[in-house]
Amino acid sequence: MSAANLWSPQMAEKIQEARVEVCRLHSELIKWGLVVWTAGNVSQRVRCEAEDGSEDVLVIKPSGVSYDELTPADMVVCDLDGNLILGDHAPSSDTDAHAYVYRHMPEVGGVTHTHSSYATAFAAVGKPIPCHLTMMGDEFGGEIPIGPFALIGDDSIGRGIVATLKESRSPAVLMQNHGPFTIGKNAKASVKAAAMTEEVARTMFIALQLGDPIAIDPKLVDSLYERYQNVYGQH
């Protein structure tokens, strides 16, 4: 069955565009060295207001399919309870976590999960990535927090992500003993957050080997975050 037979024409078009974009973004995970083999996943929320009510789904990578074999048609569509609606493959094993985030954080339009080495090392020892870099003030507004331990299989990971990020400006959380999950206004923004998470994790790991990193005044962190989020770049 095609997307055109399941949703309004506008929604069907948005879903097809999202499948192309989500497929493309998985190549970015490889490009930036954030995943190995078939680990990791990116999803994007797709919403549309229709005459008979709003339509709200997520597009995500299928489970266990090699990155070099992925095509837009392989991207699966699920409802926000994680149930498969459209696709020839089983959804990612992390779909329930993504779906929980979308249900409870309506401002989120994209979620990315990786096992990138340095960020996951911090997760393995249960330590947040401390904010001793202006880049971290810009991107994360402070430290990257640790979320609770949770097993894959239901929405436990999603609950931990939401509970942790609701109390933080960070778009990233390090789930203990697991790895980073990142959020964004869309899938691309969440992938950027994943790349930046690994970058600052690597830098802070090296800094900690050299000595005691120099703290940044919290008021200056606030100033960095405000400027970067609202002034930097093209608007």
Q: Examine the residue annotation and report whether 222 is marked as an active-site residue of this protein.
A: no
pLDDT in tens, 146-157: 999 999 989 999
Amino acid (1-letter code) at residue 116: S
What's the distance, CA 178 to chain centroid?
Answer: 14
Residue 88 has what pLDDT?
Answer: 96
Q: Examine the residue annotation and report whether 56 is marked as an active-site residue of this protein.
A: no
How many CB atoms are closer than 10 A to CB 125?
A: 10
What are 221's two structure tokens? 């962190």
pLDDT in tens, 55-85: 999 999 999 999 999 999 999 999 999 999 9
pLDDT in tens, 49-59: 876 668 999 99
- Backbone phi, psi, residue 195, to 5°: -65, -40
- Per-residue pLDDT for 202 more than 80? yes
- Backbone phi, psi, residue 94, to 5°: -95, 10
- The mean per-residue pLDDT over the stretch 121-144 comes to 98
CATH architecture of the domain covering 3-230: 3-Layer(aba) Sandwich (3.40)
Say how far apart CA 116 and CA 109 lie, in whole Å.
22
State pTM to two decimals.
0.96
Residue 1 has what pLDDT?
Answer: 61
Which of 56, 79, 138, 222 is the catalytic position?
Answer: 138
pLDDT in tens, 163-195: 999 999 999 999 999 999 999 999 999 999 999
